Amino acid sequence: MKRLFSVIGFVIVLLLCSCGTSTAHIETLKNWSFQYNKETDDYSLFFALVDKNDEPLWADVDVDIRIVNDENEDVYIGTKSVSNDNYGYYTSQIAGEQYLANVRIPSSELTAGKSSNGTVYFTVYKENKIAFSEAYCSALYCLPIADVTVDFDYFPLNINVKDYFGDVASVLQIQSAEYKFEKEYSPTLDIIIIGEKLSSNSSLYVYDEISYKLYDSDGYIVDSGNVYLDNLNTGDKFKSDPITIYDVTPGESYTFKLFESTY
């Protein structure tokens, strides 16, 4: 287990009577935390049930869970039942060894959203036996992120590269483009253009320049700039260095267009 965030919980309002193997009265809910488990591709909501002497217990309970990301999107709403099989000893560097309930949520049950951070709200109860107030904890850099889509120009696309006098110095043919969306931490988009230099009318230029613009789904320009291709001869095929675009909005549909550069 990667980490546990230890928080003292609320006081119970009802008593649990002879649930499972435990006959002691459960007094408090405490030591809850939330984490993503990469090895099993699921999430764990941990919490402890203890008696008045702070001794850990297990009990059959139900847990209503709601996960909201930082964009105020509900990415999970559901109820999980907890039995003796869900309890065990877990160790962290911060809290040491603890006896906890481990409520597992498959990642497939979460909806991808616009933020990897959020808040987990949960309520532990058993009808007519036990009830706690709603508790919450943070979900940090672990919630699923929605993919982006990028539409390109129709290829092949021929672009003139002009010199400072406005004359055509070379012609580039853009044959395709590809993109990669990086979801970890701060979402970024890398775009690579692929093509061939068809002709060159000057021996003075060591690089060819193309302009680009990235539009969001509402038609607003969110990024623009230039692509520089060094030392291309006529007939050379090329792949550009990645065009990296930051502050990308997950779930957005973008349009990427290439233009003739102007001075």
| SS3 labels along the chain | CCCCCCCCCCECCCCCCCECCECCCCCEEEEEEEEEECCCCEEEEEEEEECCCCCEECCCEEEEEEEEECCCCEEEEEEEEECHHHEEEEEECCCEEEEEEEEEEEHHHCCCECCCCEEEEEEEEECCCEECCCEEEEECCCCCECCCEEECCCCCEEEEEECCCCCEEEEEEEEEEEEEEECCCCCEEEEEEEEEEEEECCCCCCEEEEEEEEECCCCCEEEEEEEEEECCCCCCEEECCCEEECCCCCCCEEEEEEEECCC
The two structure tokens encoding residue 148: 């982006």
Domain 28-139: CATH class, spelled out? mainly beta
Q: In whole angstroms, what is the distance from residue 29 CA to residue 134 CA?
A: 11
Q: Where in the chain is the domain with CATH 2.60.40?
A: 28-139, 149-260
Q: What is the C-alpha to C-alpha distance for residues 30 and 56, in angstroms, rounded to an integer?
A: 10
The whole-number pLDDT of residue 8 equals 35
pLDDT tens digits, one per residue of 33-84: 999 999 999 999 999 999 989 999 999 999 999 999 999 999 999 999 999 9
Given a contact cutoff of 8 angstroms between Cβ atoms, the answer to whether 198 and 168 are in contact is no
Give backbone dihedrals phi and psi of 25, rounded to 5 degrees, phi first: -80, 125
Q: For the chain, report the end-to-end CA distance as a whole number of angstroms.
A: 57
| Contact yes or no for 23/31 (Cβ under 8 A) | no
pTM of the model: 0.76
State pLDDT tens for residues 130-165: 899 999 999 999 999 999 999 998 999 999 998 777
Fold of 149-260: Immunoglobulin-like (2.60.40)
Q: What CA–CA distances, in Å, run from 136 to 10, 33, 80, 217, 237?
A: 11, 9, 16, 35, 55
pLDDT of residue 181: 96
Residue with tokens 């990086």: 182
C-alpha–C-alpha distance, residues 134 and 17, integer Å = 22
The sign of the dihedral angle between the CA atoms of 38, 63, 102, 100 is positive
Beta bridge partners of 96: 92
Q: pLDDT digits over 182-232, tens only?
A: 987 778 999 999 999 998 886 555 689 999 999 999 999 999 999 999 888
The position carrying tokens 């092949």 is 156
Q: What is the pLDDT of residue 14?
A: 37
